[in-house]
């Protein structure tokens, strides 16, 4: 089941590459997620920073009002990682807060998530329908592809990011 869903998510690579043209022009990017999507938000921001050198932050969507909401404007893409899980409706509420402040919403969620969000979504990566337990594995693919393609579009060497070692050494 999960390998097939992951293969389906990998088919989103052309869409992730197209979206990378948006993130490549950004100075700052905010990733948000709740529950199991929160570590994915952290990972997405980390990979974007490491490969493209764009300032990116990952936040728990429930903490949006504790600082990052002040940064949201029409220039900042906000990438929302929103699998259909027990906290999806709360994530939709956070998307509405971003939209109310003129934020540029990029949604990574299941096919019907954009319709249910009831806000304007600038870009949407439609993920396969998947149970919440396996979503982190499958959602990691487009997040990593987005960081990779952003770096490539910007002319960065994604295989040798500056100031990072490929392996950990022990003294």
Is residue 168 in some structural domain?
A: no
Adjacent-strand bridge partners of 126: 109
Half-sphere exposure of 94 (CA within 13 A, CB side): 27
pLDDT digits (tens, 9 = 90+) for 82-136: 998 899 999 999 999 999 999 999 999 998 888 888 899 999 999 998 888 889 9
Is residue 159 in some structural domain?
A: no
Residue 1 pLDDT class (50, 70, 90 cuts): confident
- Using alpha carbons, select from 146, 158, 157 the residue that is nearest to residue 22: 146
pLDDT digits (tens, 9 = 90+) for 14-69: 999 999 999 999 999 999 999 999 999 999 999 999 999 999 999 999 998 888 89
How far out from the chain centre does Cα 84 lie?
15
- Using alpha carbons, select from 148, 125, 135, 138 the residue that is nearest to residue 47: 148
| CA 35 – CA 37 distance, rounded (Å) | 5
| CA 123 – CA 120 distance, rounded (Å) | 9
For residue 165, CA distances in Å to 51, 161, 162 come to 12, 8, 8
Is residue 56 in some structural domain?
A: yes
Instruction: State the pLDDT at residue 114.
Output: 86
Is residue 171 in some structural domain?
A: no
Instruction: State the pLDDT at residue 61.
Output: 94
Is residue 164 in some structural domain?
A: no
Is residue 160 in some structural domain?
A: no
Is residue 18 in some structural domain?
A: yes
Residue 169 pLDDT class (50, 70, 90 cuts): low
Count of structural domains, the chain: 1
Is residue 162 in some structural domain?
A: no
- Using alpha carbons, select from 124, 31, 116, 42 the residue that is nearest to residue 76: 31
Instruction: State the pLDDT at residue 167.
Output: 60
Phi and psi at 106, nearest 5°, equal -120, 120
Structural domain including 55 reads: 2-153
What CATH number does residue 136 fall under? 3.40.50.10490
């Amino acid at each position: 089941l999960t390998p097939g869903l992951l293969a389906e998510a990998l088919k989103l690579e052309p869409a992730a590459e197209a979206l990378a043209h948006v993130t490549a022009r950004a100075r700052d990017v905010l990733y948000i997620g709740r529950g199991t999507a929160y570590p994915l938000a952290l990972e997405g921001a980390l990979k974007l920073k490491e490969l493209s050198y764009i300032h990116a932050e990952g936040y728990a969507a429930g903490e949006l009002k504790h600082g990052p909401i002040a940064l949201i404007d029409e220039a900042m893409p906000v990438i929302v990682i929103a699998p259909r899980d027990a906290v999806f409706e709360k994530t939709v509420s956070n998307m509405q807060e971003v939209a109310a402040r003129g934020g540029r919403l990029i949604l990574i969620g299941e096919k019907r998530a954009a319709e249910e969000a009831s806000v304007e979504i600038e870009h949407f990566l439609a993920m396969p329908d998947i149970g919440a337990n396996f979503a982190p594995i499958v959602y990691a693919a487009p997040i990593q592809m987005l960081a990779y393609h952003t770096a490539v579009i910007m002319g960065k060497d994604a295989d040798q990011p500056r100031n990072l070692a490929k392996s950990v050494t022990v003294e």
